[in-house]
Structure 1
Amino acid sequence: MFFFVALLSTLLPTRIPASQKIAFTVEVQNIRQLAGSVHIGVFKPCKDFPGSCTPTENQVVSANQKNIRVTFMVEPGDYAVAVFHDVNANGKLDKKAFGIPKEPYGFSNNFKPLFSGPSFADCRVNIGDTGKQISINLL
């Protein structure tokens, strides 16, 4: 009987528990000025992405290379990423008239907003049980 149960358990598919964290790597490309810092925010589904949403995970990295790579440990699920290059190191994304960013920025799926910011659905990335790596090109 024990042998049968052991054999059966090896044949059944295994899933990673939802509480286990998975590697989610974000590579930020096209850093044009090697100054200031790059702010990377990882968001769970929210209505007003990225506006009034709070990132689940975030990191601030020195902009000392043309490309940087950051790994977050997250639970499997849907996420969106927003990035900006704080060139003048004042801790915020500087904007022009009508809220248009003055500093480089980017979103997961390399979504390029035209007349308004993106929705969560525009930038949604599914992180499965094996993790994920994405690249974001700064605009």
Structure 2
Amino acid sequence: MNRSMRHLAIAALAGTAIAPASATTLIVEASGFDDSSGQAVAEVFSSRAGFLKQARYTQAQAIVDGQPVRWQFDGLAPSDYAVRVWHDINGNGEPDRRAFGRNEPMVFSNGVRDARPDWSEVTVTLGPDPVTVAVDLRDTGE
């Protein structure tokens, strides 16, 4: 193999080694907002280490009475993620809680309502195909 062919082969191998994994889409659908005050917030966490400390992606939307809210997060690498959706009633950008519970409705992926759930309880796995996470903020009392 001559020198130029060797460089071409190395470049081809390097290109495949650093080629990004296919990106995918996470769709979050939320229902159960009691009123249209404030905003609906969806947060996507991408690791156990940053869970509940720093969302990787955050989107907020206005709420229309009685209508579900839908967010779409594109370009995510296939991996495990956790989703938190909450109703920011007072619009301060933080999920407020009283001393003995939440005063702004909140729910995680997999329907988990714990204020501080374990990562393993709320993760969803994204593969090459889009994944939809549907949550309901109404407290069913279960």
Same fold (TM over 0.5): yes
TM-score for the superposition, normalised by structure 1 = 0.77
Which residue of the other structure, out of 73, 95, 112, is the alignment partner of 1:93?
A: 95
1:19 to partner: Cα distance: 3.5
How many angstroms apart in 2 are the aligned matches of 1:68 and 1:44? 22
Residue 48 of structure 1: CA displacement? 6.2
TM score, norm. by length of structure 2: 0.75
Larger of the two Rg values belongs to structure: 2
Q: Percent identity?
A: 27
DSSP-derived class of the 1:85 partner: strand
1:125 partner SS:
strand
Q: How does 1:27-66 map to 2 (within 5 A)?
A: 27-47=29-49, 49-50=51-52, 52=53, 54-65=54-65, 66=67
Change (3 A) 1:125 1:42: same
Structure 1 runs (4+) deviating above 4 angstroms are: none
Task: State the Cα RMSD in Å.
Answer: 1.7
1:111 is matched with which residue?
112
Q: In 2, Cα distance between the equivalents of 1:48 and 1:129?
A: 23
Distance, in Å, in 2 between the alignment partners of 1:91 and 1:56 is 15
Letter in 2 for 1:32: D
Runs of 5+ in structure 1 lacking a partner? 1-16
SS, match of residue 34 in structure 1: coil
Note if contact 1:47-1:120 (Cα within 8 Å) is conserved in structure 2: no
